[in-house]
């Protein structure tokens, strides 16, 4: 889904690689959480693990 599908709210958690946000689907009006991960400093193994987590 495109990022524009959601309204991004407040940060509800932080970790080593990024932050977790409370978001709301614009049409459905349902709330979800979205994890934003900074992979710029991650190793190739860590990047692969992050990709597998999404899929």
Is 35 marked within a binding site?
yes
Bridge partner list, 9:
none
DSSP string, 8-48: EEEEEEE-SSEEEEEEEETTT--EEEEEEE--TT--HHHHH
Tell me the binding residues: 35
Tell me the binding residues for ATP: 35
């Amino acid at each position: 889904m495109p990022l524009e599908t959601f309204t991004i709210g407040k940060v509800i958690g932080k970790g080593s690689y990024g932050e977790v946000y409370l978001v709301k689907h614009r049409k459905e009006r349902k709330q979800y959480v979205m994890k934003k991960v900074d992979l710029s400093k991650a190793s190739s193994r860590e990047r692969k693990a992050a990709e597998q987590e999404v899929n």
